Amino acid sequence: MLFNSLEFIYLFLPITLVGFAALSRIKAGNAAILWLVAASLFFYGWWDPRFIPLLVGSVVFNFLIANRLLGRTGGHRLRQALLVIGIAGNLGLLGWFKYAGFFAANLSKISGAGLSVPEIILPLGISFFTFQQIAFLVDARRGDVGNLSFSRYSLFVVFFPQLIAGPIVHHKEVLGQYAAPTFGRVTLDNLGMGVTIFGIGLFKKMVLADWTAEYANPVFGAAADGTVVTILEAWIGALAYSLQLYFDFSGYSDMAVGLAWMFGIRLPFNFHSPYKARNIIDFWRRWHITLSRFLRDYLYIPLGGSRRGSIRRYVNLAVVMLLGGLWHGASWTFVIWGGMHGIFLVINHGWHAFLHRIGRDPDQATRWGAAWARTLTIIAVVFSWVIFRADDIETAVSVWKSMLGLQGLVLPQNLVDVFGIPADAWLSTGRMAGHEFVNELFFYQDPLGPWLLFVLGLALFAPNTQEIVHRFGPSLDPWRRVPAAGIHEARRIRWSPHLGWGIAVGLMFGIANLGMSRVQEFLYFQF
């Protein structure tokens, strides 16, 4: 079931809210938790009920392991063995469903052994709930987890707003909320704020992301078919996908926060205007924040972090980003994407180290210097998204070559006709077969032309959802900044419970509803 579907918005969500509120009103706290667990399993099973036992089995397995770790029974070696068994069980499950075919195919190419595995359907959300439970087991082994209740632990894992595509929630952020005396109170304030955040996220997905996909899909589709796209088409396609992915995942994350807040539960926000980042380090503090936090706390730091010298630090960064790329999908395209960002981070940290050695503060820059840094960062990010989007390496290389002008500086015919640009041996004109819409881009024949600039402007300059609603506290800050950075950017646009915002949210819902006849999945569902 999708957040952006009619059955979810007008059937599942109201029924779940009413049942939860009714059980909470009669002081049946544990029953309210079990109601949410049951509703979440129904939500998950709507896609394919065959995978409900898989999810339930994962929850029970990890609960039993965690319970033994918390029991303090046995010595250090036994508890360490239990942790290894728990992590191995989770990674084994993830590895079979997500990576078995990938590794079998690559081993076959290397050895010629002809290895194969049966076709495997990837269960929704397995990457997210696996990482979340691995983190819980590690914390239980460290002694950072208190008393454990099976019902609360189950809700921690399967709570439907964050089950499929995150955020990756830390147990300290939510388990205490489930045990609080105020848990279960459905209030008009929470509903109003939750509906607002959900509406903003729905608008991001249905309008900003899905409409922008109309630019990205034809370009990458043509490149995959072997068509040489023009330099302008390649950059438009790459930029369009960058914006589509951001508003698609940002929209999902907003919707998750808004849905949880309707039930009085605060989830961490996952995005903080990442395309405003001043460097790649800053980008990863803003993009998919809860994944970055997980990789830092449970992979980078255990590998040694920066405690063993600069060389080891750079190696750790590269390894973490390679694994982070592989987490997104069983394909060399994701591995290369992760490797690219590993290289970007190594260069960025090396540059900062150099500035420190010469007595300069990397965070201090002139206005023009900051603008150049942001521009360079967004170019690097857009360039790297190409292989993230491409079906294979060959498609990505073709688009990259076009972006760099290595396949000839082919310009759209209309651009040449309007401005009278002469063509010579290195500059030619043409149309991309079957995808002529780009030739009319930014001309009156194509009303979608200014759309890309509008969406780009929102990503680069508009306040984000967290900044707009921050003073009402509907979400958590995963980096524990108090207050969240960048709130000053939203001084002119702050949500408040008055008629104007009600009309605005209603309009966003109305416009988004117009597209629900052709509902598209969220991009991160494939991960």
Q: Which residues are catalytic?
A: 328
Pairing of strands 267-268, 409-412: unpaired
Encoded tokens for 136: 């819980």
Find the helix or strand (DSSP H, E) in which 268 lies: strand 267-268
Contact at 8 Å (CB) between 484 and 474? no
Task: Return the residue matching tokens 């979440």.
Answer: 40
Contact at 8 Å (CB) between 373 and 365? yes
Pairing of strands 475-476, 427-430: unpaired
Find the helix or strand (DSSP H, E) in which 430 lies: strand 427-430
Which parts of 143-230 fold into alpha helices (H)?
A: 150-158, 160-163, 171-179, 188-203, 210-224
Question: What distance in Å separates the CA atoms of residue 169 and residue 131, rounded to the nearest whole number?
Answer: 9
Q: Pick from 338, 333, 317: which is nearest to 102 by CA?
A: 333
Sign of the C-alpha dihedral, residues 268, 151, 33, 161?
Answer: positive
Encoded tokens for 56: 């339930």
Other CB atoms within 10 A of residue 42 CB: 16
Other CB atoms within 10 A of residue 217 CB: 16
Encoded tokens for 432: 């991309």
Contact at 8 Å (CB) between 274 and 236? no
Encoded tokens for 498: 């008055």
Work out the end-to-end distance of the chain between its first and last CA atoms, rounded to an integer number of angstroms: 16
How many residues are present in the chain? 527
Q: Pick from 507, 457, 515, 501: which is nearest to 276 by CA?
A: 457
Contact at 8 Å (CB) between 234 and 402? yes
Q: Pick from 387, 384, 369, 362: which is nearest to 282 by CA?
A: 362
Question: What distance in Å separates the CA atoms of residue 153 and residue 74, rounded to the nearest whole number?
Answer: 23
Other CB atoms within 10 A of residue 9 CB: 18
Question: What distance in Å separates the CA atoms of residue 181 and residue 200, rounded to the nearest whole number?
Answer: 30
Find the helix or strand (DSSP H, E) in which 401 lies: helix 393-403
Contacts of 52 (CB under 8 A, 6+ apart): 41, 44, 45
Q: What is the largest CA-CA distance in the chain?
A: 82
Contact at 8 Å (CB) between 270 and 289? yes
